[in-house]
Chain A
């Protein structure tokens, strides 16, 4: 037993010496395998079982990352299924605003004294960058109108919590009205007609700009600015150049101004209905891709954590074995 025992003893003694040489502190030997991995694991130093404690931390992190992954995957599937139904509704509503634009034209840069900006945004978060995009374009429109001269008035109507949250710090004084929870029972024309009625009743404006994200595809949302004139604007010189109302005969029992008022309000309701549907569809699409990215990232983090966890677990086992073997060899030898 002498020859193999002594060989084992010498090699294990060399291993022991290697461990003892790595660090001066008595616990340096214990942390050395962890440092060599460089896996970013927390170096929690305790007298006994240092490796076990940090491994528990890693395990806890893995569990929470896995939960996040499951939640974001579920959110993505919910958004994908809602996107399908909303997209059909949004596409079918696109016919509503086109006759108005064909009749009344689209002149976003028309000169006017009072402008009203209606910002469509979502109520819930975790939907990518669409709300930030709407807010960006609203800010630029605001500055554009102020650029035209002093005394130009701009007011804002907010639809949706996220837009309000982002704009209220800077533009709190320009807020006129605020609508929320518009998607609770689904978006329908009656609701949009009521909202547009409130907006038209309570605000004096010449030109209204509506900022929303039009849905082009599940990965592409186009920020759009729709321009709607008020009834007064139809009769001004600037307005007539764009909408050419003089060329048309008014048919009907009501007076011409009544018909024009109904026309302006109907256009407002139609454009708002389409805008809200498009924005809601964009919200679903953006949420789907944001949650998909989150799921993938959570999977990557989980993979890295699993690797480092297994590495540290295996090196702990190896260290234990070497200690035991060298201890046994020391006793024999």
Chain B
């Protein structure tokens, strides 16, 4: 019994010491709201498995998104997520420029709802006079009607962390690989590497 108490108290202190995520659109809700499940699903479930509780659904783990406002919104809310971090959570900004496959796309508050696929390139977030620049590998950008922009990227680095020397070397290396490629797979891989490094160089060239 003493051991059980010890475990529980250690769990409590340890749980309290965990960093609490800021509450926002991209974060978790404390009390899980009921997912929108049709009555028929619940009935069928009860018929088959009366002893099991209904499973949980991911929509109940999310905070509710803001409703579409009737007036023109003044700020754009940006959620910028990576597999290993929440880079930006419900940040109110003035403008975001994302590297869509058709070129740099600027997103302002009240933008038309859009789904854009991203290619490797420079992404900048403007808030007043403050500009944050990231180099993103590919991903997706969703702009919703309620002036919320979700940017999902697989990798993103702030520009100041990139080394121009390494980038130049990479461009030369991959250019050589493209010319020396023996089969389609190698050529495709070398071309992807060349594209990413050229984009890196362009991004650094623009800001440097």
Cβ B58 vs Cβ A106 within 8 A: yes
Q: Pick the contact of B117 from A95, A227, A259, A295 — CB < 8 Å? A: A259
Interface string of B70-103 (1 = CB under 8 A from A): 0000000001011111100100000000001110
Cβ A252 vs Cβ B7 within 8 A: no
Q: What B residues does A105 contact at CB under 8 A? A: 59
- Contacting chain B: which of A58-66, A84-92, A172-180? A84-92
Cβ B101 vs Cβ A248 within 8 A: no
Looking at the assembled complex, report how far the CB atom of A254 sits from the nearest CB atom of chain B, in whole angstroms: 6
Q: What A residues does B56 contact at CB under 8 A? A: 214, 222-225
Tell me, yes or no, whether A270 is within 8 Å of chain B by CB.
yes
Interface string of A133-149 (1 = CB under 8 A from B): 00011001001100100
Q: Which of A82-131 contact B (CB under 8 A)?
A: 87, 89, 91-103, 105-106, 108-109
10 contacts between A and B (CB under 8 A): A95-B85, A95-B89, A99-B81, A101-B59, A140-B45, A140-B48, A252-B102, A253-B102, A263-B117, A273-B83
Interface string of B48-77 (1 = CB under 8 A from A): 110010011111011001000000000000
Cβ B11 vs Cβ A214 within 8 A: no
Tell me, yes or no, whether B140 is within 8 Å of chain A by CB.
yes
Interface string of B132-145 (1 = CB under 8 A from A): 00000001101011
Interface string of A219-262 (1 = CB under 8 A from B): 10011111100000000000000000101111111100001001
Cβ A266 vs Cβ B152 within 8 A: yes
Q: What A residues does B140 contact at CB under 8 A? A: 99, 262-263, 266
Q: What A residues does B21 contact at CB under 8 A? A: 91
Closest chain A residue, CB of each to CB of B63: A98
Closest chain B residue, CB of each to CB of A189: B83
Looking at the assembled complex, report how far the CB atom of B16 sits from the nearest CB atom of chain A, in whole angstroms: 12
Tell me, yes or no, whether B115 is within 8 Å of chain A by CB.
yes
Q: What A residues does B148 contact at CB under 8 A? A: 102
Interface residues on A, range: 35 or more
Looking at the assembled complex, report how far the CB atom of A206 sits from the nearest CB atom of chain B, in whole angstroms: 17
- The distance in angstroms between the C-alpha atoms of A226 and B15, with both chains bound, is 26
Interface string of B20-57 (1 = CB under 8 A from A): 01000111100000011110110011011100100111
Interface string of B164-201 (1 = CB under 8 A from A): 00000000000000000000000000000000000000
Question: Knowing A95-B79, A95-B81, A270-B83 touch, does A102 contact B62 (C-beta < 8 A)?
Answer: yes
- The distance in angstroms between the C-alpha atoms of A94 and B105, with both chains bound, is 27
Q: What A residues does B11 contact at CB under 8 A? A: 217-219
Cβ A248 vs Cβ B52 within 8 A: no
Tell me, yes or no, whether A292 is within 8 Å of chain B by CB.
yes
Tell me, yes or no, whether A296 is within 8 Å of chain B by CB.
yes
List the interface of chain A (C-beta within 8 A of B): 87, 89, 91-103, 105-106, 108-109, 136-137, 140, 143-144, 147, 188-189, 211, 214, 217-219, 222-227, 245, 247-254, 259, 262-263, 266, 270-271, 273, 289, 292, 295-296, 299
Interface of A, helix, strand, loop or mixed by DSSP: helix
Question: Knowing A101-B58, A106-B35 touch, does A94 contact B115 (C-beta < 8 A)?
Answer: no
- The distance in angstroms between the C-alpha atoms of A218 and B112, with both chains bound, is 43
The CB with the most chain B CB atoms within 10 A, among A95, A245, A296, is that of A95
- The distance in angstroms between the C-alpha atoms of A292 and B8, with both chains bound, is 11
Closest chain A residue, CB of each to CB of B146: A102
Interface of B, helix, strand, loop or mixed by DSSP: mixed
- The distance in angstroms between the C-alpha atoms of A292 and B61, with both chains bound, is 29
Q: What B residues does A270 contact at CB under 8 A? A: 83, 152
Q: What A residues does B48 contact at CB under 8 A? A: 140, 143-144, 147
Cβ A263 vs Cβ B3 within 8 A: no
Q: What B residues does A108 contact at CB under 8 A? A: 35, 37, 41, 57
Q: Which of B89-135 contact A (CB under 8 A)?
A: 89, 100-102, 105, 112-117
- The distance in angstroms between the C-alpha atoms of A222 and B184, with both chains bound, is 46
Closest chain B residue, CB of each to CB of A143: B48
Looking at the assembled complex, report how far the CB atom of B144 sits from the nearest CB atom of chain A, in whole angstroms: 7
Closest chain A residue, CB of each to CB of B112: A249
- The distance in angstroms between the C-alpha atoms of A105 and B58, with both chains bound, is 10
Q: What B residues does A250 contact at CB under 8 A? A: 114-116
Question: Knowing A101-B62, A102-B150, A109-B37 touch, does A95 contact B86 (C-beta < 8 A)?
Answer: yes
Q: Pick the contact of A93 from B3, B65, B83 — CB < 8 Å? A: B83
Tell me, yes or no, whether B154 is within 8 Å of chain A by CB.
yes
Q: Pick the contact of B3 from A136, A140, A262, A299 — CB < 8 Å? A: A299
Looking at the assembled complex, report how far the CB atom of A289 sits from the nearest CB atom of chain B, in whole angstroms: 8
